[in-house]
Amino acid sequence: MRRNPIVLACSLMIFLGATTLYASWDDGVSAFKAGRYDEAAAAFLSYVDSRPEVPAGHYMLGQALLRQQRFDDALEPLGEAVALGSGESRYVLALAQAQIKAGKAEAGLDTLVAADPGSVPDAMRPDFNQLLVQAAIASDRGEVALAGLEKAVAADPAERNFHVALAQVAGRHGEPERAFDALAAAYDLDPRDAEAGRGAVRKAMDIAYEEDQDKERKLDWYRKGAELAGKLATTSPTPENQKLAGEAAMGAKDYEGAAARLGQALAAGIDDRRLRYYLGRSHLALGNDEQALVNLQAALEREGDELVSEIHTARASALRNLERFDDAAEAYGKAGRAGKASEMADYAEHRREWAAKTADCVEKRAQITVLLEDDQGLKDSPEWKDLEQQATEILAACEPYLKETS
């Protein structure tokens, strides 16, 4: 039977087209595996032109462009792959990677946040996690980044990097309490992670330091920091961790703990101005004024220009407690507290006058006692009565000064 030439021609064209189609796919795969990414891109472009409805073609074209670091060019085919492929994880990851590499971290973040972290295959999860953290940190869209990271934490709460990234983003966007919780969670996951532990302690102390209105809240945050710092210093008892634990304990008003921790840091070789100042402050709060002065003086002798006013103020308090009022006045003056310096100077002068008056009265009392004893023969005479009256008046005037010597 003779075939219709038109039908034969059409069949031949379909066959040749299919052959060309599969050849372009196979050629693309072969070139891609061999590292000839420019050839692979040309082959996959030919495949996409013939079969635009197949997401794999767009995906492989995007991958070939990615390998050539043509990140902007890869965005369109990879976006098409995601749209056609119903959000398949490998397409999503490739698109997010291209967006981040092209300097479009916000777009990459949106792509990853739109995906369901729980649906990502286990084999791809490390790459997904890494890209999400990278996009969240690089993006300026704080709320989107935080929401995405918290969604990821809910899906994989044991992923430490999520907590660390969450803390970094929260801190950068003015949410220190959220940052503290994330760092504390990271430290709980791995108590050997001293960096996360120190970060959480410092964040708690920063929150406490900034709190001016609610004193109980301020103290509560110092206590949170001190509790965590104590664990850190126990798990990793480095001099730096001992110092940090001492500072946190002082903020929490645990002055004995502060003095102990700071003393250990000092014995281990940290002897800087701040440590000496905090150690002096701790001894001052414990009533160890002499020890406080030793450390505060040492603080002034250490390098640095910070805390000068605070150190002199603490010295003034210790000197006042020791009743060295002239020295306290001088210390307040060096602290720039003229009012307190004047107050201490006036008090010192008052104490000198009081001491002089007391000494005078003591002398007069001794003279009167001798006089009355020597003139016993005049007793009951008018002269005795006059002498006794004068003695009574003198001793009455001296009574306030003589109380301290009785």
> Does pLDDT of 10 surpass 60?
no
Could you tell me if residue 263 is inside a domain? no
Q: How far is CA 336 from CA 16, 316, 331, 376, in A?
A: 94, 12, 9, 61
Q: What is the pLDDT of residue 378?
A: 67
Could you tell me if residue 195 is inside a domain? no
Could you tell me if residue 221 is inside a domain? no
pTM over 0.75: no
| Inter-residue contact 59 to 75 (CB < 8 Å) | no
Could you tell me if residue 200 is inside a domain? no
Nearest to 82 by CA among 106, 105, 104, 112: 112
For 252-288, write each residue's pLDDT tens digit. 999 999 999 999 999 999 999 999 999 999 999 999 9
| Inter-residue contact 218 to 240 (CB < 8 Å) | no
Could you tell me if residue 136 is inside a domain? no
For 62-79, write each residue's pLDDT tens digit. 999 999 999 999 999 999
Tokens 């013939």 identify what position? 50
| Residue 379 CB coordination number (10 Å) | 12
Q: What is the pLDDT of residue 403?
A: 79
Cα gap 100→162, rounded to integer Å: 18
Could you tell me if residue 21 is inside a domain? yes
Q: Determine the structural domain holding residue 50 and report its residue range.
A: 1-103
Number of structural domains found in the chain:
1
Cα gap 169→65, rounded to integer Å: 31
Could you tell me if residue 39 is inside a domain? yes
| Residue 306 CB coordination number (10 Å) | 10
Spatial CB neighbours of 166, under 8 Å, sequence gap ≥ 6: 136, 146, 149, 150, 153, 178, 179, 182
| Inter-residue contact 66 to 101 (CB < 8 Å) | yes
Question: Residue 401 is which amino acid?
Answer: Y
CATH of the domain at 64: 1.25.40.10
Could you tell me if residue 173 is inside a domain? no
